Amino acid sequence: MGLPSLPTLSSLSSPTSRTLLTIAGHDPSSGAGMTADLQTFAAHRLFGTSAITALTVQSTLGVAEIQPVDPALLRRTLDHLCADLPPAGIKIGMLGSSEIAATVAAFLTTFSQQAGNQAGNQPRPLVVLDPILRASSGADLLPIRALETLHQQLLPAVTWITPNWSELSALTALPVQTLAEAEAATHSLAQRHPHLHIVATAGDHSQPTDLLRLPSGEIHRFIGKHLETTSTHGTGCAFSSSLLCLLLLRDTPIEAVRGAKHFVTEAIRRAPNLGHGKGPLNLLWHLA
């Protein structure tokens, strides 16, 4: 089974409508972060631009060091880039610090206002946040003190969020060990941010059932199949980026979540088995 039929670049309405932006960290091993995001955009036949939030010393064996970029440099990068190549959708990944989170939030507020003014009654850009708090190897990627910055400044400016169960627990201060607890936590997060589409991912569990909570309060379950593999580096990045692509390509929320889950499953199934740790996915499998 392949991805749903995807439009070609020429079939989308304008150059702007086929450009996406990733705001994320740099993974030198190219399994995760902005490199994985750009590969995922390309796999969906969309053009991607990028702004790096943090440099890392990293491989398939884990994250050894993190160096956030200067927040002022990031803001200048975003402003300069989007003045020339305004994106129709934005994916946010690793932030690395509270200051970076606040900088991205301020940019989103300004950019959304500008996009809304230019487009009139047209929808503003889609923004999908993958709230990366900890690497799969265990390294902390965002300080706990930055969680309130996410709640107060960043989450009001995004439209979708894709936490795994551990991240959902951190965002809500609730235990998330079962599917019922995950559902309860999505409702709790929505009480504070009722506009959000929330996808609670469970790819690291033996029964990978993802949840979609719509702003209406409806819950939809997406049952997956556990794959025995060590090639799982960057699954969250790929899922959120694929979700953004499919939403831009006019899929409904339910179709987009199902399609993104299928995209990641096949990328894992066809992984090239590289590295000595958690290896990268085959994010370009659909183009083979």
Domain residue ranges in the chain:
9-287
Question: Is pLDDT at 15 greater than 60 in this prediction?
Answer: no
CA dist., res. 261 & res. 255, Å (int): 10
pLDDT in tens, 248-285: 998 999 999 999 999 999 999 999 999 999 999 999 99
Task: Calculate the average pLDDT of the chain.
Answer: 90
pLDDT in tens, 178-237: 999 999 999 999 999 999 999 999 977 778 899 999 999 999 999 988 899 999 999 999
- pLDDT (0 to 100) of residue 246: 97
The token pair at 101 is 């989170």
| Superfamily of domain 9-287, CATH level 4 | Ribokinase (3.40.1190.20)
Question: Is pLDDT at 122 greater than 60 in this prediction?
Answer: no
Confidence of residue 51 (pLDDT cuts 50, 70, 90): very high
- pLDDT (0 to 100) of residue 138: 61
- pLDDT (0 to 100) of residue 9: 43
Mean pLDDT of 162-178: 95
- pLDDT (0 to 100) of residue 264: 96
Query: Which of 135-144, 151-160, 271-280 bottoms out in mean pLDDT, i.e. has the lowest?
Result: 135-144
Of the chain, the percentage scoring pLDDT greater than 90 comes to 78
Query: Which of 16-20, 23-27, 163-167 bottoms out in mean pLDDT, i.e. has the lowest?
Result: 16-20
pLDDT in tens, 180-189: 999 999 999 9
- pLDDT (0 to 100) of residue 127: 97
Is the separation of the CB atoms in 58 and 64 below 8 Å?
yes
Question: Is pLDDT at 11 greater than 60 in this prediction?
Answer: no
